[in-house]
Amino acid sequence: TRTQVVIVGAGPAGLFLAHLLHRRGIESVILDIRTREEIEQTIRAGVLEQWTADLMRDLGLGERLDREAHIHSGISLQYGRERHHLDLEELTGGKRVTVYPQHEVLRDLIAGHLGQGGQIHFGVQEVDLTHVTGDRPRVSFRRTPDGPLETLEGDFVAGCDGSQGDSRQHIAGRTDLQKRYPFGWLGILVSAPPSHHELIYARHERGFALLSTRSDTVQRMYIQCGVAEDIAAYPDERIWDELHRRLATDGWQLTEGHIFQKGIVGLRSAVSDRMQSGRLFIAGDAAHIVPPTGAKGLNLAVADAVYLYRGLEQHYAGGGQARLDAYTDTCLRRVWRAERFSWYMTTLLHVNPEENAFEQRIHMADLEYVTSSRAAATALAENYVGLPLEG
Ligand code: DHB
């Protein structure tokens, strides 16, 4: 079978791309090795930049978002037991962030796409990308373990298959630039009401802590832990103890609840210096990883999808290849800014065991600067709410 754009991966990059293309009458088929249930139930990021939420509305996907999401107009930075409020809205001329979990975004995008007659094959197997970079790019796969081997041919292939995906391996002459951090995040999901109306990012001698939320009844919290630590070393009481200590401030209490999920992830930054090869273009985590601090990953994936869409749209409108040719450069300008910001938030707020007392003190001075200078606060805020897309 044939389509115009073969999209490998039904995550944020792949699904936003499919929606943008569909709106311009460009046909795509999405393949994913995961089942729809896996995709819709995996808990990941939770913060949408202003333009990302606006794009959902623009695509006609904003109904549940507008009903259920929480709009946050500020965040707090905490250190030395003091909480400092950053009024994002006031600092950025009216921009805010939207707390709406990634899997809810994906549910809306999947339902919306299928509802418009879009094609998504979930749970496919033996996906073979050997022929994605030639003049006749194609992908072969099976829908079921003993189903026939099918070949899907397209004018272009979009590799949106995440950091563990195979598409990146087919980008010729690629180099990864990367950094690993000597700490991880232990994240929990808790059945409880919110303890605070906004997110709190805390730097504490015992390590970073983040108070976040998912809904009125589900809260998300993280604490810095060692990279190679075993979750078994963290019974619930120990996690609560760390959260209480790291988030402690006068006149405030953290509300506990039942912890129904916990896990540890390592933190790393990585960027592929090439995001295209022939008719193959990679987007999102397939091309770059940010540490979670600042919640840029999902938003960056959507920005790649927008830039790729613009290139494809120009091509199909008979406008030539200029935007497709510039895809990598256009994406990487934004990617590196988000990498810088995510690295900055990470180093600002975590206690790095490899840093000496001088370096630790520098981070405290940075926090004091950000929380006392309007110029410094504005720089943080404009990155947090999301830098404007080019063009
Ligand atoms: C969340 C994660 C982040 O990295 C962040 O900066 C804010 C919120 C979250 O999962 O809720």
* Kind of pairing between the strands at 156-159 and 5-8: parallel
Closest atom of ligand 1 to 45 CA is 10
Mean pLDDT in consecutive groups of 10 residues from the start of the chain, 391 residues: 97 98 98 97 90 97 96 97 97 97 97 98 96 93 95 98 97 96 97 97 98 94 95 98 98 98 96 97 98 97 98 98 98 98 98 97 98 98 96 87
Q: Which residues line ligand 1 (CB under 6 A)?
A: 45-47, 199, 212, 220, 292-295
User: Tell me, what's the pLDDT at 312?
Assistant: 98
CA of 187 to the centre of ligand 1 (A): 10
Closest CA to 156 of 300, 26, 299: 26
CATH of domain 5-46+101-175+273-348: 3.50.50.60
Is 72 part of the annotated catalytic residue set? yes
Closest atom of ligand 1 to 212 CA is 11
User: Tell me, what's the pLDDT at 314?
Assistant: 98
Cα distances from 56 to residues 45, 53, 109, 352, in angstroms, run 16, 5, 9, 37
Choose the residue to mutate in 220, 267, 343 for probing ligand 1, maximizing ligand atoms within 8 Å of C-beta. Answer: 220
Complex ipTM: 0.96
CA of 132 to the centre of ligand 1 (A): 34
Is 201 part of the annotated catalytic residue set? yes
Backbone angles phi, psi at 284, to 5 degrees: 70, -145
CA of 40 to the centre of ligand 1 (A): 18
Task: Fold for 181-267+354-384, please state it.
Answer: D-Amino Acid Oxidase; Chain A, domain 2 (3.30.9)
CA-nearest residue, atom 3 of ligand 1: 295
| Single-letter amino acid, residue 183 | F
3-state secondary structure of 287: coil
Domain boundaries along the sequence of the chain: 5-46+101-175+273-348, 181-267+354-384
Dihedral in degrees, nearest 10, Cα atoms 233, 222, 186, 245: -30
Asked if 265 and 187 count as a contact pair (C-beta separation under 8 A), the reply is yes
CA of 127 to the centre of ligand 1 (A): 32
CA-nearest residue, atom 5 of ligand 1: 295
**What is the pTM for the complete model shown?**
0.97
3-state secondary structure of 270: strand
Choose the residue to mutate in 44, 47, 299 for probing ligand 1, maximizing ligand atoms within 8 Å of C-beta. Answer: 47
CA of 296 to the centre of ligand 1 (A): 9
Give the position of tokens 């249930």. 37
What stretches of 42-149 adopt beta strand conformation (E)? 47-48, 70-72, 75-79, 82-86, 97-99, 119-121, 125-128, 138-142
What token pair was written down for 78? 């905490």
What token pair was written down for 255? 């509300």
Cα distances from 233 to residues 9, 99, 227, 347, in angstroms, run 34, 30, 13, 25
Closest CA to 8 of 229, 197, 337, 279: 279
User: Tell me, what's the pLDDT at 44?
Assistant: 84
Among residues 19, 72, 315, 363, which one is catalytic? 72
Taking the CB of residue 255, how many other CB atoms lie within 10 A of it? 11
Closest CA to 297 of 326, 265, 324, 274: 265
User: Tell me, what's the pLDDT at 377?
Assistant: 98
Within 248-373, where are the H helices?
A: 297-316, 322-325, 327-349, 357-370
3-state secondary structure of 176: strand
Distance separating alpha carbons of residues 206 and 210, to the nearest angstrom? 13
Q: Are both 5-46+101-175+273-348 and 181-267+354-384 of the same fold?
A: no
